[in-house]
Structure 1
Amino acid sequence: MVVGRADLHAHTTASDGTMSPAAVVARAKAAGLAAVAITDHDTMAGVEEAIAEGQKIGIIVVPGIELSTVADGRDIHILAYYANGQDEVWQERLAGLRTTRGRRNEMIVNRLVELGVSISMQEVEQIAAEQAGASSGKGKTIGRPHIAELLIRKGVVATMSEAFDRYLAEGGAAYVNPPRLHPFEAIEWIREAGGTSSIAHPGLYNRDDLVEQLISKGIQGIEVYHSDHGPEEEERYRQIAERHGLIMTGGSDFHGERQGEVFHGELGSRTVDAAVLEQLKPDSE
């Protein structure tokens, strides 16, 4: 059994983080963590590099992913751990999610242009490529933080927070949410790929009725500890997890730094006992 703390929610340049998979793992090691999960949006492209770095410096890397789903018009994210990255059906499904994500990015950019903002998808792609560098390669994803970065560079907004509040978050002037995978279906995809599922940051949704529905559909865990959860949310979801016998996961949702801001929290700022990895691993391991 692993001894120490684990941060089970971190992003890299394979999606919308600003640090390479190897750099995130090195940062986790420097933070004194025993384990870190790489959970990029709709891709596992950074996992291989992260695992190699973990083996080199002596820290466990949990292969993970954060699936983008929509229920009742609201973004719901589902974390998956230890899914079989070599499963062809799983990879085809993830490619489909990335196609939908790309379509959403284009819709956001078009909306911004309609609002009088001089911006193009090519510029967004250039920022994503610049930040990814040589890391991640095939299968990386582009997300709203890349668009926010461009808005800052163009002087449209001053900070990431302003970019999301004014334009990109739910209720923002350029927010769009096309039909996407339903979280119930995501749970099945994860199960079929041999992984373990957990509801990401449920405190952000204000939909505990949906949390209960996800539990009834077979979700295996709840992200009790998250950078955007306060003590009340942590206690509420801890009780729900205990009542239903679910795995309690937690993590910082680290995305690196943009314009001097760390999103959502510093790596290692939200953790769980690394012993939880035994609960997350498939029975075959």
Structure 2
Amino acid sequence: MDPEDGAFRERILLVLDAPLGRARRMVEKLNAMGVAIRWERVQELPGNENVGRPHVARAMVETGYIQQVSEAFTEEYIAVGGRAYVERYKLTPEEGIDLIRSAGGVPVLAHPGRFRAEDDPLPDAFMERLARAGLMGVEVFYPRHTEAMVRHYRELAEDWA
């Protein structure tokens, strides 16, 4: 894979910059509503973490617009669908597969048996959708996969080959 591929780099930078831009747009919306919080302060709050809605909310508490962080997560402010809410930038799995392949890479799904939580495997139908989109591999052997999972994922991979 060519990590210097122009389209790949452009899209990856967009994904990496998205949380910061999202939080900034929320601050701009709040400012337009008369909630005068400073973007510079919001950026200072997370320390080594990514800037996000909790930091916007903390800045609102600091400036006295609300008493508790939870009050920011309402329709009035930054709850999903709220007046100052900004949708996350999301790269779909299919877009990711296409992006990797267009840069000469081999898209592989890692540990599908432990994807979102300890015992929360991805549904087979979802993995089949990814295979149709151009997924080229699936991690079969993973330390936390059971023997049954290994057999199952191996069979799926062989069916898609």
Name the TM-score, length of structure 1 as normaliser.
Answer: 0.34
Q: For the residues of structure 1 that align with 2:116 and 2:90, how far apart are their CA atoms?
A: 23
Deviation for aligned residue 1:100: 4.0
Matched, 1:153 2:66: no
Tell me what 2:80 maps to.
Answer: 170
Query: Conserved in 1, the CA contact under 8 Å of 2:77 and 2:83?
Result: yes
Query: Conserved in 2, the CA contact under 8 Å of 1:222 and 1:241?
Result: no
Matched, 1:87 2:9: no
Q: Which amino acid aligns with 2:109?
A: T
SS of 1:168's partner is: coil
Q: Which amino acid aligns with 1:196?
A: L
Q: What stretches of structure 2 of length at least 5 have no aligned partner?
A: 128-142, 154-161
Tell me what 1:143 maps to.
Answer: 52
Tell me what 2:14 maps to.
Answer: 96
- CA separation of 1:173/1:94 partners in 2, compared to 1, >3 Å: closer, same or farther? same
Tell me what 1:186 maps to.
Answer: 96
1:246-261 maps to which residues of 2 (within 5 A)? Answer: 246=127
Deviation for aligned residue 1:274: 2.2
Alignment size in residue pairs: 129
1:1-285 maps to which residues of 2 (within 5 A)? Answer: 87-89=3-5, 92-128=10-46, 131-132=47-48, 141-165=50-74, 166-177=76-87, 180-183=89-92, 184-189=94-99, 192=105, 194-196=107-109, 223=115, 225=117, 241-242=123-124, 244=125, 246=127, 274-275=144-145
- CA separation of 1:187/1:146 partners in 2, compared to 1, >3 Å: closer, same or farther? farther
Higher normalized contact order (CA 8 Å, seq sep 6+, divided by chain length): 1
- CA separation of 1:222/1:171 partners in 2, compared to 1, >3 Å: closer, same or farther? farther
1:2-48 C-alpha deviation (Å, 9 max, x unpaired): xxxxxxxxxxxxxxxxxxxxxxxxxxxxxxxxxxxxxxxxxxxxxxx
1:226-259 C-alpha deviation (Å, 9 max, x unpaired): 9xxxxxxx9xx86x815x384xxxxxxxxxxxxx
State the superposition RMSD in angstroms: 4.3
Compare CA radii of gyration and give the structure with the larger one.
Answer: 2
Q: Which amino acid aligns with 1:145?
A: P
1:112-138 C-alpha deviation (Å, 9 max, x unpaired): 01222121211111213xx21xxxxxx
Q: For the residues of structure 1 that align with 2:106 and 2:55, how far apart are their CA atoms?
A: 29
- CA separation of 1:225/1:159 partners in 2, compared to 1, >3 Å: closer, same or farther? farther
More helix by share: 2
More strand by share: 1
Query: Conserved in 1, the CA contact under 8 Å of 2:15 and 2:91?
Result: no
Q: What stretches of structure 1 of length at least 5 have no aligned partner?
A: 1-83, 133-139, 199-219, 227-233, 247-272, 280-285
Tell me what 1:80 maps to.
Answer: none
Deviation for aligned residue 1:87: 3.5
Name the TM-score, length of structure 2 as normaliser.
Answer: 0.54
**Percent of residue pairs identical:** 25
1:37-77 C-alpha deviation (Å, 9 max, x unpaired): xxxxxxxxxxxxxxxxxxxxxxxxxxxxxxxxxxxxxxxxx
